[in-house]
Amino acid sequence: MAGNREEAPDYGQGVVITDDWTGYDLSLFTYPQHYYGDLEYVLIPHGIIVDRIERLAKDIMKDIGCCDIMVLCVLKGGYKFCADLVEHLKNISRNSDCIFMKVDFIRLKSYRNDQSMDEMQIIGGDDLWTLAGKNVLIVEIGTGRTIKALLSSIEKYKPNMIKVASLLVKRTPRSDGFRPDYAGFEIPNLFVVGYALDYNEYFRDLNHICVINEHGKEKHRV
Amino acid sequence: ISSSLREAANEDTCVTISDEEPGDDLDLFCVPNHYAKDLEKVFIPHGLILDRTEKLARDVMGDMGGHHIVALRVLKAGYTFCADLLDYVKTRFFKSYCNDQSTGAIKVLGGDNLSTLAGKNILIVEDIIDFGKTMQIFLSLVQQHNPKMVEVANLLVKRTPRSIGYQPDFVGFEIPDKFVIGYALDYNEYFRDLNHVCVISETGKAKYKSEAESLG
């Protein structure tokens, strides 16, 4: 991708998109007409997302493909990433070593408890005690919600192993230093939409990951 | 100014890849194992090529859609780009231009029966243009057969000082003058099974050199 980029040394960083990357002009790609005028530029085209996920699936299979995996998809933002990732995992599985994979879906709700401490509530999903002794792969889009809190919640159910796959890792000053095991892209601290990421539930039907503009924010304001 | 105005003013004609663009490390994408040492970097990922090609297909139909289109592919070139482009034209955008009056067919010719080009919309599909001289000659040859309209769709245009300044009508990417292979571009028939456009490594150049090149 055009722009200055550092080398990614290991699994952790993924494709690094630097702060000076100006994106792709919207006129160079196709996207839904109802979003014309609402977006600034394309940050990551859909095709590159899918290519990167193909590689993530390969890395995951190489790491934990020997065992049964319990995929835990964090909704709503994670649904496309999870669907595409599982699809690639299945492709690999069909053509080489078999891997038994189950998928479940959860939502996260953060709240403050009576001691004024931040807590994470897991909503949905089957009985989480079925995770005991299993290898869990958390699949999330990477919106910056504190995954550490989710991890400690999951740990209570005593899985054998927990790995996290995040499509996006944002460089933010508030970052709690958490690094997923598998990262798709490291991106600047921008508000992005598309590929299941929403702005007030809009833009989930946009294929590419884009930066929203002021007009778009205004139009889709609640 | 509103963003839609700004969009029109800054409208690029293609994705421009700068001279400083290093490309992506091979271990960030899936690349066939047997090419691991033969490639330097992934330059244009396959998915990005497809996304861009989808837009090109739409642009092509915007210009030529209302009439019989004949797609001409230069035989020496790879078929991947032509296949993907026409696939998008047929599956995504064709329906909206078909009506009762128009027979709206697309034909792909090898170039033997050029008299059938008369009165048609001709789309010449090429994968890469280096200097543009061949294309100029080819264009004048096609024009001789009195087509209704001729346009050229090109996946890659190289920035090279040797270029004669020919600009195709539809361009996917403008790239620096690097030795690239993959997707539609082979090197002595190798790399056809590589779906990203990549920069070849010194090892790769040496390994797949043809006999003629080794002697010459």
Inter-chain CB proximity B46 and A58 less than 8 Å: no
Inter-chain CB proximity A36 and B2 less than 8 Å: no
Query: Tokens 């909503």 — which residue?
Result: A123
Residue of B nearest to A17 (CA): B24
Residue of B nearest to A44 (CA): B48
The 10s digit of each residue's pLDDT in A140-158 is 998 666 787 888 888 989 9
CA A152 to chain centre: 19
B118/chain A closest Cα distance in angstroms = 32
B144/chain A closest Cα distance in angstroms = 33
Inter-chain CB proximity B47 and A213 less than 8 Å: no
Which strands sit side by side in the sheet containing A192-193, from one edge to the other? A39-44, A209-212, A192-193
**pLDDT reported for residue A97:** 66
Residues in chain A with pLDDT values less than 70:
1-12, 97-98, 112-113, 115-118, 143-145, 174-176
Among A5, A40, A208, beta carbon nearest to B22 = A5
ipTM of the shown complex = 0.85
| Within a domain: A33 | no
| pLDDT band per the 50, 70, 90 thresholds, residue B103 | very low
Mean pLDDT in residue range B77-86: 83
Inter-chain CB proximity B30 and A2 less than 8 Å: no
Residues in chain A within 8 Å Cβ distance of B27: 8, 55
For residues A157 and A150, what is the distance between their CA atoms, to the nearest angstrom? 12
- Name the active-site residue from B59, B63, B87, B130: B130
* Whole-number Cα distances in Å, A54 to A91, A195, B49, B197: 10, 16, 16, 16
The 10s digit of each residue's pLDDT in B122-164 is 888 888 877 677 778 888 888 888 988 899 999 999 888 877 7
Inter-chain CB proximity B17 and A2 less than 8 Å: yes
Mean pLDDT in residue range B154-179: 87
Q: Which helix (H) or strand (E) holds A216?
A: helix A214-219
For residues A51 and A185, what is the distance between their CA atoms, to the nearest angstrom? 12
Inter-chain CB proximity B55 and A4 less than 8 Å: no
The 10s digit of each residue's pLDDT in B45-65 is 999 999 999 999 999 988 887
**pLDDT reported for residue B76:** 60
**pLDDT reported for residue B101:** 37
Residue B3 pLDDT > 50, yes or no? Answer: no
Question: By a Cβ cutoff of 8 Å, what residues of chain A touch chain B?
Answer: 1-5, 7-8, 14-15, 24-30, 36-40, 45-52, 54-55, 58, 208, 213-216
Among A30, A39, A51, beta carbon nearest to B45 = A51
User: Is the CB of residue B19 less than 8 Å away from at least one CB of chain A?
Assistant: no
User: Is the CB of residue B49 less than 8 Å away from at least one CB of chain A?
Assistant: yes
What SS3 class is residue A182?
strand
| Within a domain: A203 | no
Number of CB pairs < 8 Å for A and B?
91
Q: Is B27 a catalytic residue?
A: no
Return residues 156-175 of B near A (CB < 8 Å).
none
**pLDDT reported for residue A42:** 97
Among B4, B16, B30, beta carbon nearest to A36 = B4
**pLDDT reported for residue A148:** 79
Among B21, B29, B51, beta carbon nearest to A2 = B21
For residues B182 and B44, what is the distance between their CA atoms, to the nearest angstrom? 9
Residue of A nearest to B176 (CA): A2
| Within a domain: A27 | no
**pLDDT reported for residue B128:** 81
For residues B53 and B173, what is the distance between their CA atoms, to the nearest angstrom? 10
**pLDDT reported for residue B6:** 31
| B77 or B88, which is more confident | B88
For residues A181 and B154, what is the distance between their CA atoms, to the nearest angstrom? 40
Inter-chain CB proximity B55 and A47 less than 8 Å: no
Residues in chain B within 8 Å Cβ distance of A215: 2-3
Residue-number span of the structural domain to which A146 is assigned: 47-192
Among A2, A47, A215, beta carbon nearest to B46 = A47
Beta strands in A57-181 (DSSP E): 69-75, 101-112, 118-123, 135-140, 161-170
Q: How many domains does chain A have?
A: 1
| pLDDT band per the 50, 70, 90 thresholds, residue B7 | very low
Residue of B nearest to A5 (CA): B22
Burial of A126-140, coded b for 16+ CB within 10 Å and e otherwise, reads eebeebeebbbbbbb
User: Is the CB of residue B194 less than 8 Å away from at least one CB of chain A?
Assistant: no
The 10s digit of each residue's pLDDT in A104-122 is 999 888 776 676 666 778 8
**pLDDT reported for residue B104:** 46
**pLDDT reported for residue A2:** 45
The CATH code of domain B3-215 reads: 3.40.50.2020
The CATH number given to whatever domain includes residue A159 is 3.40.50.2020
Among A2, A14, A208, beta carbon nearest to B28 = A14
| Within a domain: A175 | yes
